[in-house]
Amino acid sequence: MSTNHTFQPAPTALSNEPRESVPPSVVAAGTGVPAAPKEFAEPQQAATAPGTGGVVEETGEKVPFKEQVNGYAKKIAGTIFNNDREKEFGEKKLDGQI
């Protein structure tokens, strides 16, 4: 069984041999996905000036950061050491009752 095949390497970008051009329809067959619509949406605007952004309304009094940290510490310590009084104290501090 003797077959006579001739090896022909594929042309590369470095080769100087002339190549046969392939029609675009064969190279880039359609994907079946419709093209994106060509409608233009309004450009997005960033709120860069004071007063142009949304307003966040505060509800009630804000507990200062230091008191929040202390409240969380009391609540966690009360939970870990099973001390209900300390846990309740921390919760009240977080709610701004103390």
List the domain boundaries for the chain: 62-92
Compute the average pLDDT of residues 61-82: 93
2, 12, 28, 76 from 19: Cα distances, Å: 31, 9, 18, 75
Q: Could you report the per-residue pLDDT of 1-21, keeping only the tens digit for each?
A: 556 667 666 655 555 666 677
pLDDT at 92 over 70: yes
Span 10-52, pLDDT tens digits: 655 555 666 677 666 555 566 666 666 666 666 666 667 676 6
Q: Which pair of structure tokens corresponds to residue 30?
A: 């359609």
Sorting pLDDT into bands at 50, 70 and 90, what band is 98? Answer: confident
Global pTM reads 0.41
